[in-house]
Amino acid sequence: MNTTVKNVTKILSGLLLVASIDFAVAESMEEGKKHKKLDFSPIIEQMQLSDEQKEQFTATLEKHRAERKERKQANKQMRDETHTKRKAEMAEVLTPEQLEMFHAFMKENRPKKRSQKS
């Protein structure tokens, strides 16, 4: 194998790895959408929290929910940027026909979402 072919092979292998990671992250993010908001009132009653504790308890839960939401948005933005960058780099390396073949391959071999698995 000549050096150019080896370099292209290395680049494609790396990009496939990044694509796989992107899909795994996307799948785990999708799972988060299935979670319903928990009703904490039964446990609050069971723990016999004072009014002040209830306030602090719910404020803490809300604070952490907001932080998770911010992280999720940041991860989505980073994933989108990575996807755009990868797409641009692939367009530099591959011919339009090869790029089309690569996209078809990735689409066929994309991991199924949990909701699609049976």
Q: What is the pLDDT of residues 8-55, one digit of tens each?
A: 666 655 555 555 565 555 555 555 556 677 888 888 889 998 999 999
End-to-end Cα separation, the chain, in angstroms: 42
Q: Which residue has the tokens 């979670």?
A: 35
Q: Which residue has the tokens 């073949």?
A: 101
Residue ranges per domain, the chain?
3-113
Q: What is the pLDDT of residues 62-106, one digit of tens each?
A: 999 999 999 999 999 999 999 999 989 999 999 999 999 998 998
- Please write down the long-range contacts of 43-49, taking CB distance under 8 Å and 24 or more positions apart: none
